Amino acid sequence: MISAKYLYYVQAFLLSGIMSFIMSGAISFINLGIVEHFMAIWTHAWIVAWAVAFPSILIVFPFARKLAVKIASK
């Protein structure tokens, strides 16, 4: 198992992977429909999206968390 001190990074890694998988699939389907080699196209889009999503979450999450706490505490 991974130490709890790395929870932030593990959470960001999993969240970015799951969200980029769902979104790249949805957008690929909307733009292309079910075409030949759809899974290959989706996989490529997912890899690119994940490469952008993971560092983005690492940067944006602390700000989003602070904003969420402010909104939820009112």
Q: What is the pLDDT of residues 16-60, one digit of tens each?
A: 999 999 999 999 999 999 999 999 999 999 999 999 999 999 999
**pLDDT value of residue 25:** 96
**pLDDT value of residue 73:** 87
Q: H/E/C letters for each residue in the chain?
A: CCCHHHHHHHHHHHHHHHHHHHHHHHHHHHHHCCCCCHHHHHHHHHHHHHHHHHHHHHHHHHHHHHHHHHHHCC
pTM for this model (two decimals)? 0.82
